[in-house]
Structure 1
Amino acid sequence: MLVTLTGGTGFVGAHTTAALVRAGHHVRLLVRDPTAVPTALDPLGVDLSAVDAEVGDATDEAAATRAVRGADAVLHAAAVYSFDRRRRAEMLRVNTRATEVVLSAARRSGAARIVHVSSTAALFGPGVRVVDDHTPPGASREPYAATKSASEAIAGAHQRAGAPVVISRPPALLGPHDPKTGDQTRRLRDTVRGIMPVWPSGALQIGDVRDTARLHTTLLEGRAGGAHFGPGRLITTPEYVAEARRASGRPLPTVFLPAALVTPVGRLVDLLQPFWPWHIPAAHGAITTAAASVSVAPAASTLGLTPRPFADTVADTLDWLVATDQLHPRTRTPVT
């Protein structure tokens, strides 16, 4: 099967490409920079003879049309995942505009299977604490969640019009080989470095990127419709830090405060960040997401895929960060 994939040099896209190639499929990537393909895929052991690159932007209709031509299936994973408000305009352009462009092109091409990679965050909104298969797109004011809600609404409209669109909703993701070292990977790295001593009380739905890649392969090869959550678990912020302590062997003194006390700090960071040259690991969106403690209902569909242990995900992520010189080896001395 020929699968066209957007976002193939990103975290989710690279792992999904690797899973598809291992399953015997040929992948065509729509990429802005073809030199990024081996950088993203070589560490995953991907046979590059099974991967082609179509150069172009996912927001460009002509490029998207070229990329999906003749494909049996299309997976749209291109997105900007960030709680940094400086990237709001970029998120609007990529997360929303690209979804309409790519899904429309895929429909016109006659692709038999179209998978839109959404997010559990697309369902977040005021008062939402549990999401399931029937939860509509949310009404969050946080830029990332808001743009993912808008893109899921676009995918839902294509579904209702009869298009063969299926929606994937990954949780927050960790795992090795993150080509661009995204927000979640940086958060774990900063935690282990000891520069995040204050956390809001709350919880996050967290999964392993490799499990989400398995879900995408299953969706592309199968007949399931509707929307499906990526395998994951609700991890409280104390559990998260405790696992970071175990995996690193470091004490990581941490204070957990009610969201009402931490949220103003996040608002202040959002005001300061545009004028500060370095990333501050205390974004308002990340704080409110953890404080909301939104969980996925146990009966929600993950197509029966079991998430791997959180301890394994954390350990593998830290091993990769050490191997790529993003963490000092002494930060990976697990407690036995």
Structure 2
Amino acid sequence: MLVCVTGGTGFVGAHTVAALVREGARVRVLARDPRRVERALTPLGVPADAVETVAGDVTDRSRVEAAVRGTDAVLHAASVYSFDTRRYPELRRTNVLGTELVLDAAVRAGVERIVYVSSVAALYPSADAAVTADSPVGRPREAYMASKAEAEQVARRFQAEGAPVAVTYPPALIGPDDPNLGDQNARLRNELRGLMPMWPLGGFPLGDVRDTARLHARLLLGSGEPTGRHFGPGRYLTTRGYLAEVSAATGRRLPALFLPAVTMLPVGRLVGLVQRVWPWHIPAEYGAVYICSAAAPVAEGESTGGVEPRPLVESIGDTVRWLHGRHLLTNRQAGLAARPLADVGVGPS
């Protein structure tokens, strides 16, 4: 089977490519910079001859059509995931227009297995205590979340028209081998570096990228057409609960001040304005505070494609070990995760 993957040099896309190749699939990656494909996939053990590359952007119709032509399945994972205000101009162009073009090209090419990678954030804020696959699309007051909500409307339109499109809703994702040190792994690193002494009350869903990649591989390579909407494996954590899990994985005490999100949102807006002219990234982002105030758990019984989430303390430990191995954390910052696995009584995942 030949599967086209957009976003294959990103965190979710690269791990999904690796999961597909392990299951015997051939993969074609649409990438703006083909040189990044090998750099993203080699650490995941993907052989170079298992992947072919088409150079192009998801907002270029002709390159998208070339990438999906002759494939058996398509995974659309290309997305700008960032709360950094400097990247706002990219959000709608890539997240919304790119989704429209990729899904349309795949349907027109007669591809029978199409999976669109949405985000659980597309369903926030919710009027209900928990979100389901039938929850209405959210109307968030934050740029990244709003772009994913708009793209979600595009995917649901294709579903309503009878296209063979399945939608997945990954939670915030951590895990090793992140080609670009994305938002959530960077936030974990910043916490361990002591750059996040204040947290908003509230919470967010968290999962392991490897579990979401397994979900995608099942949907793309399983029997029958992939349809419906599926949540990426994970669980909802309060911000206090998140820091407790990080503390358990590292053995470190992580004191923090917890404030109501409503009091931190104005600070986040101010930081966002400063960030537009400040050259270095500022960890206190409006979007991160907003999502903690708007997030809701996933209702029990919702589909995760039969994939059970691994324990979060394991995912956090693996991520911290990877950050430490890349010299992005010191021994002290990584704590227990800087020690060999045998020394802390943890088996490899």
Q: TM-score, normalised by structure 1?
A: 0.97
Give, as a single letter, the amino acid of the residue that structure 2 aligns with 1:291. S
Distance in 2, matches of 1:293 and 1:115, equals 24
Distance in 2, matches of 1:183 and 1:164, equals 31
Identity among equivalent positions (%) equals 53
Unaligned runs of 5+ in 2: 338-343, 345-349
2:347 matched to which residue of 1? none
Q: How far 1:85 sits from its partner (Å)?
A: 2.0
Contact 2:124-2:295 within 8 A present in 1 as well: no
Deviations 1:277-314 (A, max 9, x none): 11111111110111224111112111221100000110
Q: How far 1:126 sits from its partner (Å)?
A: 6.0
1:292 matches 2:302: no
Give, as a single letter, the amino acid of the residue that structure 1 aligns with 2:335. T
Q: How far 1:129 sits from its partner (Å)?
A: 4.1
Give, as a single letter, the amino acid of the residue that structure 2 aligns with 1:198. M
1:175 matched to which residue of 2? 175
Find the residue that maps to 2:212 and give its secondary structure.
helix
Distance in 1, matches of 2:128 and 2:43, equals 38
Contact 1:4-1:74 within 8 A present in 2 as well: yes
Q: How far 1:128 sits from its partner (Å)?
A: 5.1
Q: 1:236 to 1:41 in 2, by over 3 A?
A: same
1:80 matches 2:80: yes
Unaligned runs of 5+ in 1: none
Contact 1:201-1:257 within 8 A present in 2 as well: yes
2:144 matched to which residue of 1? 144
1:109 matches 2:135: no
Q: Show the 5 A alignment for 1:80-229.
A: 80-125=80-125, 127=127, 129-222=129-222, 223=224, 224-229=226-231
Find the residue that maps to 1:75 and give its secondary structure.
strand
Aligned-residue Cα RMSD (Å) equals 1.3
Give, as a single letter, the amino acid of the residue that structure 2 aligns with 1:203. G
1:39 matched to which residue of 2? 39
Contact 1:129-1:292 within 8 A present in 2 as well: no
Distance in 2, matches of 1:126 and 1:265, equals 24
Contact 2:73-2:112 within 8 A present in 1 as well: yes
Deviations 1:57-98 (A, max 9, x none): 111000000000100000100000011122111011100010
1:252 matches 2:261: no
2:315 matched to which residue of 1? 313
2:3 matched to which residue of 1? 3
Q: 1:92 to 1:49 in 2, by over 3 A?
A: same
Q: TM-score, normalised by structure 2?
A: 0.93
Give, as a single letter, the amino acid of the residue that structure 2 aligns with 1:329. N
* Higher deviation after alignment, 271-280 or 121-130: 121-130
